[in-house]
Structure 1
Amino acid sequence: MSKIELKENLKKYSNLDECPIRNIISRFSGKWPVIILCILSENECTRFNQIQKAIPDISPKVLSDTLKNLETDGIIKRIVYGEVPPRVEYSLTKLGLSLMPYINNS
């Protein structure tokens, strides 16, 4: 491989917005996303309070923010039931389920 080819191959890692590795690390760099994915993979539909009880050292705000980020990324889905009081359940999407074999084997 020539120096020019090597330089071209390495260029994708210097672009902060398009680097494939940086994008993955930014989504899963904290300790909470992977733990939440494991909880949701073991329990098909899980309510917010159930997740919080399973992770007692996470604050409600951090849990809420992490769930929103995972939902925005299409990894989990949030289902709101029109009941009083409102019932909200979280579960993995197909994309989220496709990640689990890699997470479980690590």
Structure 2
Amino acid sequence: MKKVKITILKTTLQEDLAREYGVDGLTTCPMMSEGEVYYADYAKPENFCDEAWKAIYQYVFALAHGVNDIWYYNDWIKTPGVAIVSCNDGLRPVIMKLEKTDIESKIEDL
């Protein structure tokens, strides 16, 4: 099993939806910042948002186990070993890049 690199690309705020449904003063996600990098295999990285992990773990697991094909029907991501995903927060989604690496998971990581 290999490590998967998770890079936080964007923290967003859907302002129209936040005005209608969010609490006053809602801002982008306070848990993640653009440019942060995490590494994962089967387990959620330390200090990584639980809800974001629930939304992306299946892609991380697939990449960690060697998926090389372009996702789905070649109509999503053009680069093998990469997925662009987001958390499931509809008001302030965080967009992440997942990349397959050659970094081996070590037994103490498991």
Name the TM-score, length of structure 2 as normaliser.
0.28
Name the TM-score, length of structure 1 as normaliser.
0.29
Structure label with greater radius of gyration: 1
| Larger RCO (CA under 8 A, 6+ residues apart) | 2
Q: Greater share of helix residues, 1 or 2?
A: 1
